[in-house]
Chain A
């Protein structure tokens, strides 16, 4: 069984300050982990993914995430927030074998203040 917990439903930051969106997971197998972003009234777009290679993963738009197996975490970070980063972010866990059924977190809404 697998599950994902996004620890904050809303995160509010000022433009130019760091962003931290927290995600904890559980998985019976070696997991694949993903972060997706959804801008208002849009579909979901892949930000970055971890699939058992380097534990520090770099994504688009300056985002990165670190896979920490001992902490079962995959937190998303960005050094300096931009107004265009305001969106909903989803952490997703899956296993690579058999039937691929990913599990989504409930999402974190990132609010960026000028």
Chain B
């Protein structure tokens, strides 16, 4: 039982490049989330998926897109990376209303 896994762990991009962050969970959770964490800002919600087949914007969705590929997988795409997107990205999942389970994070640097 791996919990929530994220790939890659580290990534360096140049401005304008694109990339996809992958997230998978093996706990049969309905809801999945993408957050970014910046110093002094806590965790800010980018997008979430309340259930398979649905996605919704969170607090800071600009510059990002998501895909809920199936119940297990929820990917985050940066189409044209900007330095302001330098951050640590966390994926999380939950059964709904209960505690979230977090992945180990992806450290992204955009030059």
Residues of A within 8 A of B (CB): 9, 32, 34, 36, 42-46, 49, 51, 90, 92, 94-97, 99-102, 104-107
Interface bracket on B: 20 to 34
A100–B50 touching, CB < 8 Å: yes
Residues 28-54 of B, flagged 1 when their CB comes within 8 A of A and 0 if not, give 000100000000111111001010000
Q: Are B98 and A51 in contact (CB under 8 A)?
A: yes
Query: Using a Cβ cutoff of 8 Å, how many contacts connect chains A and B?
Result: 53
Contacts known (A9-B40, A32-B98, A95-B97); A101 close to B45, Cβ less than 8 A: yes
Specify which chain A residues have a CB less than 8 angstroms from the CB of B99 in the assembled complex. Answer: 34, 46, 49
Q: List 23 A-B contacts (CB under 8 A).
A: A9-B40, A34-B100, A42-B104, A42-B105, A44-B43, A44-B90, A44-B102, A46-B99, A49-B98, A51-B98, A90-B43, A94-B97, A95-B97, A97-B97, A100-B31, A100-B96, A101-B48, A101-B58, A104-B42, A104-B44, A105-B42, A106-B40, A106-B42
Could you tell me which B residues sit within 8 Å of A by CB distance? 31, 40-45, 48, 50, 56, 58, 90, 92, 94, 96-105
CA distance A96 to B98 in the complex (A): 7
